[in-house]
Amino acid sequence: MINVSKKVILKNCRMLINSSIYDLAGSIIDGQLVESAFTPATYPYRHVVVAGSFEMSFPNSSVLGDNVMIGDVFPWKDYAASSFRVASREDNSIYYCIIPSTNETLINTSIELSQGQTATLDVCQLGFIFGPEFTVNSVTKNNVAVIACEDNPAHIVASQPCKLVKLYSSFYKF
């Protein structure tokens, strides 16, 4: 079974977020794309895997399936396809779909933080942090954290090596 949550609206960040939870390995969503080709620059959404793993493929195209793991952001390359298939490879696999306001595109960057290294999420940024241990505004976190900075920045310190994925709308120029 696949559960898609209601959207969470981040008005100040000009984006919506919803999660898709695939209860069982092998659960599949098939869909159609309006365009026959898309790139990270033209496809407005971003999908971030926070648990488990997925196989993302494009039937009836020359594009081979991609294995998408925890911490990966999709899309990360150009695709020529008019349909897609997302299949969970593990039970309880989860990804978040981040949707910008109309006529905007999400911009994402990934930063590998080494032990003791710091980073900041600015106001109007959404962040995903993956790692065994890190702090966010002096609060210790483990594994995965989702941080929406609608009104205040977030300061991150890596207690151990971790990965930070920053997302923001093209409306904001940092």
pLDDT digits (tens, 9 = 90+) for 92-143: 999 988 888 877 777 788 999 999 999 999 888 888 999 999 999 999 999 9
Q: Which residues pair with 67 in a beta bridge?
A: 55
Cis peptide bond upstream of 75, omega within 30: yes
158 within 8 A of 117, measured Cβ to Cβ: yes
| Residue 51 forms part of a structural domain | yes
| Residue 153 forms part of a structural domain | yes
CATH code of the domain in which 49 resides: 2.60.120.10
CA dihedral 117, 118, 124, 125 (to 10 degrees): 10
Give 124's DSSP letter. Answer: T
Q: What's the whole-model pTM score?
A: 0.82
| Residue 111 forms part of a structural domain | yes
CA separation for the pair 107, 98 (Å, rounded)? 11
* pLDDT tens digits for range 34-85: 766 667 677 778 888 999 999 887 776 666 677 888 888 887 777 777 778 8
Looking at the fold, whether 159 and 96 belong to one and the same domain comes out as no
* pLDDT tens digits for range 3-21: 777 678 888 788 888 889 9
| Residue 33 forms part of a structural domain | yes
Q: Which residues pair with 94 in a beta bridge?
A: 21, 51
pLDDT reported for residue 153: 92
Looking at the fold, whether 7 and 78 belong to one and the same domain comes out as yes
Looking at the fold, whether 28 and 59 belong to one and the same domain comes out as yes
Instruction: For residue 62, give Cα distances in angstroms to 37, 52, 78, 80.
Output: 12, 26, 12, 8
Looking at the fold, whether 86 and 139 belong to one and the same domain comes out as no
Helix, coil or strand: residue 29: strand
Looking at the fold, whether 14 and 96 belong to one and the same domain comes out as yes
Counted domains in the chain:
2
For residue 162, what are the domain limits?
A: 106-169
